[in-house]
Amino acid sequence: MWKYQNPVNVIFGDGQFRSVAELIGGRRYALVTYPEPPFEELATALASQAGAPVLTISDVAPNPDFELLAAQSGRFAGHGDIDVIVALGGGSVIDSAKVFSAAGGSFDRVQTFLETKEGGDAFAFLPIIAVPTTAGTGSEVTCWATVWNEAQGKKYSLAHPRLYPETALVDPELMLGKPYGLTMATGLDALSHSLESIWNVNANPVSARHAVAAAKLILHALPRLLRDLGNANLRSDMAEASLCAGLAFSNTKTAIAHNLSYPITLGWGVQHGIACSFTLPTVLSSVIGIGGFREAALREIFGDDLEAGARQLIRFLNDLDVGTRFADHGVPAEKCAAIIDEAFAGERGKNFVGSKESFLAAATRQDVMKLSAA
């Protein structure tokens, strides 16, 4: 028995940003976005079509943190007239919008839920129109948000089935002009989402089909896009791949590669998309022999010889100047064992269909815990 469910209305196509006003439909809206000029121009265009927002939150930061989210959520207090939130930006913007949707003006509700897993019945659940401007997180079609407490060195996942956005409007034209580093990191994040949804206890045949489509498209399109950042067709390919990866892991959540990444992002400042992707070849090697539709999906992506596929994935990452050893990202060898132990003990680690023993064996074969690359 398996099941697949995703309630998000998806609209995809160049120039579809003009449809946002129609989706708002005269409702009073809050706009969550970034302060940079391209977003200011989009906000102005939206206001000319849909009217001015009741509230604008434009100081969103990467890796949304308790302290900032609490201040931002407080700005919604006294604005009980907001009917819908428009999230215009990358994953941090859409994740922040989900926090604001739940908080209803008081971040205390969200913090209590994150720390105790209780109190979700007090959430406000404002509807969200998600308009992603990067191809990576897939947050526009998931019901969770990543929330960080940097002061305590912790990462949380805000998850509730009523936090799926009402609509995901994916306009690849909004992704033109994104720089090399952001394009690479978000693309690798999407690749990680697709593969993590396959070697996952929650995987199902439908999520696997989305994952295969996403991974194959990323492996083909991302290196080409990074050599030709202005290519609209490749931007569209990556937008589609990120969306498919989101539809895949919207039903599974992530697994061990993500759990390995969180302390590396917090402790060594490694960008999320890099931190959650550099161990993918090791994880792939470690799950050879799992069988069933999961292994069939991996073979469809990498070919029948999955050990060769792992080597192919190492070359893919190395060609993007992404090392596949912990030391390549500044992580000392003596820290690796604790990071791995903690990752396998955590929630995302328990989503993994493989074992710590098989991962360590694969890591030994690939020398991923050496102090320096060979």
The radius of gyration of the chain's CA atoms, rounded to the nearest angstrom, is 20
Instruction: Check: CB of residue 142 under 8 Å from CB of residue 249.
Output: yes
pLDDT in tens, 34-73: 989 999 999 999 999 999 999 999 999 988 999 999 999 9
pLDDT in tens, 341-351: 999 999 999 99
Q: Does residue 372 register a pLDDT over 90?
A: no
Tell me the average pLDDT of the chain: 96
Do strands 144-149 and 154-159 pair parallel, antiparallel, or not at all (unpaired)?
A: antiparallel
Say if residues 99 and 69 touch (Cβ distance below 8 Å).
yes
Q: Residue 305's pLDDT is what?
A: 98
Instruction: Please choose, from the candidates 212, 250, 213, the residue with its C-alpha nearest in 3D space to the C-alpha of residue 130.
Output: 250
Residues 315-348: tens digit of each pLDDT: 999 999 999 999 999 999 999 999 999 999 999 9
Amino acid at 219: L
* Confidence at residue 63, expressed as pLDDT on a 0 to 100 scale: 87
- Using the Cα atoms of residue 288, residue 292, residue 297 and residue 302 in order, give the sign of their dihedral: positive
Q: Is the pLDDT of residue 373 over 50?
A: no
pLDDT (0 to 100) of residue 369: 67
pLDDT at residue 18, as a whole number: 96
Is the pLDDT at 371 greater than 80? The verdict is no
Which strands, in side-by-side order, build the sheet including 128-132? 9-12, 167-170, 128-132, 84-89, 29-32, 55-57
Q: What torsion do the CA atoms of 128, 131, 136, 142 make, to the nearest 10 degrees?
A: 20
pLDDT surpasses 50 at 272: yes
Among 28, 61, 71, which residue's Cα sits nearest to residue 47?
A: 28
Residue 367's pLDDT is what? 84
pLDDT at 8: 98
Burial class (CB in 10 A: 0-12, 13-18, 19+), 196: buried
* Residue 362 structure tokens: 């694969």
- Spatial distance between the Cα atoms of 143 and 328, rounded to a whole number of angstroms: 33
Q: Decide: 62 and 68 in contact? Cβ < 8 Å.
A: no
Contact (CB, 8 A) for 166 and 20:
no
| pLDDT tens-digit readout, 124-159 | 999 999 999 999 999 999 999 999 998 998 889 999
In 3D space, the residue among 121, 118, 69 whose CA is nearest the CA of residue 97 turns out to be 69
- For residue 370, name the pLDDT band (cuts at 50, 70, 90): low
Residue 80: predicted pLDDT:
83
Q: Averaged over 285-300, what is the pLDDT?
A: 98
Domain with CATH 1.20.1090.10 in the chain: 180-366
How far is Cα 147 from Cα 191, in angstroms, rounded to an integer? 21
Which whole number is the average pLDDT over 295-313? 98
Fold of 180-366: Dehydroquinate synthase-like, alpha domain (1.20.1090)
**Which token pair is 209?**
């089909």
Domain ranges in the chain with CATH number 3.40.50.1970: 9-174
Q: Are 190 and 203 in contact (CB under 8 A)?
A: no
Beta bridge partners of 88: 131
**Taking residues 182-188, what's their average pLDDT?**
98
* Closest listed residue to residue 128, CA positions, set 82, 164, 104, 93: 164
Parallel, antiparallel or unpaired: strands 9-12 and 154-159 = unpaired
The pLDDT, as a whole number, for residue 285 is: 98
CB 188 within 8 A of CB 273: yes
SS3 assignment for the chain = CCCCCCCCEEEECCCHHHHHHHHHCCCCEEEECCCCHHHHHHHHHHHHHHCCCCEEECCCCCCCEHHHHHHHHHCCCCCCCCCEEEEEECHHHHHHHHHHHHHCCCHHHHHHHHHHCCCHHHCCCCCEEEEECCCCCCHHHCCEEEEEEHHHCEEEEEECHHHCCCEEEECHHHHCCCCHHHHHHHHHHHHHHHHHHHCECCCCHHHHHHHHHHHHHHHHHHHHHHHCCCCHHHHHHHHHHHHHHHHHHCCCCCCHHHHHHHHHHHHHCCCHHHHCCCCHHHHHHHCCCCCHHHHHHHHHHHCCCHHHHHHHHHHHHHHCCCCCCHHHHCCCHHHHHHHHHHHHHCHHHHCECCCHHHHHHHHHHHCCCCCCCC
Considering only the top CATH level, what class is 9-174? alpha beta
Residue with tokens 């161990």: 279
